[in-house]
Amino acid sequence: MSKIAIKSRIYLDHAATTPAHPAAIAAMSAAAAHLGNPSSLHAEGQKTGGILEHARTILAHFTGQKPENIIFTSGGTEALSLAITGSRLPLYASAAEHAAVLNHAPHILPVDENGLLNLEALAAALENGPALIAVQHANNETGTIQPLEGIAQIVRAAGSLLLVDAVQSATKHPLPALSFLADYIAISAHKHGGPMGIGALLASPGTPLTAHTGAQEQGHRPGTPNLPGLAGWAAALEALTASPPDWTAVTARRDALAARLTAAGAILHSAKAPRLPNILSLGLAGVPATTQLMALDLAGFAVSAGAACSSGKAGPSHVLTAQGLGPAAAEAIRVSLSPHTTDEELDAFAAAWETMAQRLRPKATA
């Protein structure tokens, strides 16, 4: 792996978190220098309150929502929890959902071998009465994109509500179009150049949402707003609007990497499903994901074995287990690109993966 030492580290874990955009960092610094609580009535408070509402206006424009339908949260997990508890409806979730949803879900719906929701099972479940259906727009481990149009049609016909986790897909797919399908949408800033610790729940007009204890965000959460985080997120969204990423180029790089590694023996998961342009779930038969991660980390590459909140724990991927992969669910890593990932970085990664596979792959016995 001598060639890899030319660059000390290559980051290929953008599905976990993206680098903050320089404009976001500058805006956060400027906001942190402001004196005054946004809830205060004096001039200083009004000025900082203006920063908060500017961020709400920017997000509303970006998502196609009205500002009053946006509830700022600490991230995607809190946004999902707010919708789940606030809707006061029985919750059904696909078996491939993020843990932030599955930890709340008493009713689990099956997915197929590519991670796509079983629509017949969904329709059957909704015969039990109105419910809240939670579905990721795009899976955080495999990139699988769900057929939301068909899902929304079934949910609407049953008089139920749809919660969409768009944490991974936001900025890669148009959110205004998604707003016509979903009753609730959860998003998070740090997946697209904003800071960590800030997100939002987008709630359609008239959608039930029981207020929680707190004076902020229309009574849905307590505590002083994260003003620097909001300013940074708004700046990141403005930068994305001014210079949209070329996701077509990212798709081409992803596919070229997948072709090279599958030719070298990698297993590409969810290959037959529509997927996000930047995520690859790759298996190496007979080699635990944690072993692969350690080898690649030592070689200078940051990848993961699934969701960032669970990748520090040993065990098979619940997403790939739900897809029926059995032991292979514990042998997969996630490689996730950004629009700034270069061909040279991916060539270096591919060479490292090939060397690792040759060294670690179980040898056939005579």
Considering the domain architecture, whether residues 303 and 334 belong to the same structural domain is answered as yes
Distance CA 18, CA 25 (A): 13
Considering the domain architecture, whether residues 11 and 65 belong to the same structural domain is answered as no
Considering the domain architecture, whether residues 14 and 26 belong to the same structural domain is answered as no
Q: What angle do CA 325, 136, 116 make, to 5 degrees?
A: 40
Considering the domain architecture, whether residues 99 and 57 belong to the same structural domain is answered as yes
Per the structure, the complete domain to which residue 64 belongs is given by 22-242
Tens digit of each residue's pLDDT, the chain (366 residues): 334 444 589 999 999 999 999 999 999 999 998 887 777 778 777 778 888 999 999 999 999 989 999 999 999 999 999 999 989 999 999 999 999 999 999 999 999 999 999 999 999 999 999 999 999 999 999 999 999 999 999 999 999 999 999 999 999 988 877 878 999 999 999 999 999 999 999 998 888 787 666 667 676 777 788 999 999 999 999 999 999 999 999 999 999 999 999 999 999 999 999 999 999 999 999 999 999 999 999 999 999 986 555 445 567 999 999 999 999 999 999 999 999 999 999 999 999 999 999 999 887 543
Considering the domain architecture, whether residues 231 and 168 belong to the same structural domain is answered as yes
Distance CA 85, CA 40 (A): 29
Domain final residue pick, 227, 242, 257: 242
In a domain, 337, yes or no: yes
Considering the domain architecture, whether residues 11 and 91 belong to the same structural domain is answered as no
Instruction: Give 281's strand partners.
Output: 334
Amino acid at 185: I
Domain final residue pick, 242, 274, 309: 242
Distance CA 312, CA 310 (A): 5
In a domain, 149, yes or no: yes
Distance CA 189, CA 199 (A): 5
Kind of pairing, strands 199-203 and 184-188?
antiparallel
Considering the domain architecture, whether residues 180 and 265 belong to the same structural domain is answered as no
Instruction: Give 221's strand partners.
Output: 216
* Residues identified as active-site: 309
Calculate Rg over the CA atoms of the chain: 21
Q: How many domains does the chain have?
A: 2
The tokens of 148 are what? 């939301």
